[in-house]
Structure 1
């Protein structure tokens, strides 16, 4: 399996959902991310990172609250937002990042 750092080096945008099992708003993000994946397909990679199981990743990116969504491309942070984010907004952000090249 690829490491987190390998995944975020990708040419295509990588949406990372930093979440926790006990977090109510995080549970609300799951169907939203499913919708985003359905509409964006393979043009984007979506991964979930459990902050309780990966505290070093949470520390490295200064995750204060969950859910926190981040978009990476070629290892660079292109976008970051905490809280529940509507699918439409996520799709717009990913569309912009894909167009940046």
Structure 2
């Protein structure tokens, strides 16, 4: 397994952008900016959950660990891309994020579904299942 993008906090990411492999990027990563989002999310052939969150958001602090727990069984097939809205306000505006946490399920760069607020693990599993069929 390769290390994540040098500026990412998570090292569970396989195949960062710019690598010579054609495998999709899966695992968990923190999005650094719009270019990083373009490369890791929009150009990714793997399904992606985009977690728009904020450090000051109490529900975000509860949802984050739930997303990561569910991802443990999907590390080789799905990417969880975490976007801090305070550091990436342009992305939050582009995707019309009016409340956090908001999670957007994407496949081939297109939004498939989204949910806002704290959800149970079972709900998150169903969202991932809808992406991987």
* TM-score (norm: length of structure 2): 0.70
1:44 and 2:78 are equivalent in the alignment:
yes
Q: Please, which of 15, 22, 46 is the counterpart of residue 56 of structure 2? A: 22
Q: Please, which of 71, 82, 91 is the counterpart of residue 57 of structure 1? A: 91
How many residues align? The count is 99
Please name the residue that 1:4 is paired with: 37
Unaligned segments of structure 1, at least 5 residues: none
Larger Rg computed on CA atoms: 2
Question: By how many angstroms is 1:54 displaced?
Answer: 0.3
Unaligned segments of structure 2, at least 5 residues: 6-16, 18-35
Residue pair 1:40, 1:91 contacting (<8 A) in 2 also: no
Q: Which runs of 4+ in 1 moved over 3 A?
A: none
Question: By how many angstroms is 1:62 displaced?
Answer: 0.2
* Larger RCO: 1 or 2 (CA < 8 Å, sep 6+): 1
Instruction: Provide the C-alpha distance between the structure 2 equivalents of 1:11 and 1:86, rounded to a whole number of angstroms.
Output: 27
12-21 or 82-91: bigger deviation = 82-91
Over the aligned positions, Cα root-mean-square deviation in angstroms equals 1.2
Higher helix content, 1 or 2? 1
